[in-house]
Amino acid sequence: MVCCALMMSSRILAGNSLGKLFNNEKIDPGKLNFCGYTCPADCKFYIASVENDETGKKEAFKIWKIKERFGVDFDPDTSVCWKCKDMLKPEGVVIQNCTVRACAIEKGYEACIECDKLTTCDKDLWKRFPDFFNAVIEMQIKYKQQSASF
């Protein structure tokens, strides 16, 4: 899940992954990735991992610029994504390098929207995707409002 978030584009705000942010549905951190993203059902990396499709994994590896980002060559065994909250599956190279995921796990959060230090967080994901970061902060505001009303 976080691996998808690391590679997302500006279309993230277009209703697929942060759609809950813009309606009245209760925000549940347990249903989000650690970063607040929700992987799309058609995620190329996840599908290729499930199907053990080396060609699909290579395509996702190239699209997401994993070699450039992490300095590793393609390896079908480590070029996988099982979504970031599936702790029973092996961690792929992207999840292994996700500082947001590592931080949330260390602090015991289901998602970063639970963290009071989110607005000052300087993790790489937020620097690379500032629009996403702003959307997650907005989600956090709504989450806190919803939590306060119960």
Backbone angles phi, psi at 18, to 5 degrees: -120, 25
Q: Quick check: is 70 in a domain?
A: yes
Answer whether residue 98 is part of any domain. yes
133 falls within a domain: yes
Higher pLDDT, 139 or 2: 139
Do the domain assignments include residue 21?
no
Overall domain count for the chain: 1
Cut 0.75: pTM above it = yes
* Residue 35 domain-assigned (yes or no): yes
Q: Which domain holds residue 110?
A: 2-7+26-148
Q: What is the pLDDT of residues 64-105, one digit of tens each?
A: 999 999 999 999 999 999 999 988 999 999 999 999 999 999
> For residues 43 and 117, what is the distance between their CA atoms, to the nearest angstrom?
30
Q: Is 6 exposed, middle or buried (0-12, 13-18, 19+ CB in 10 A)?
A: buried
pLDDT of 150: 61
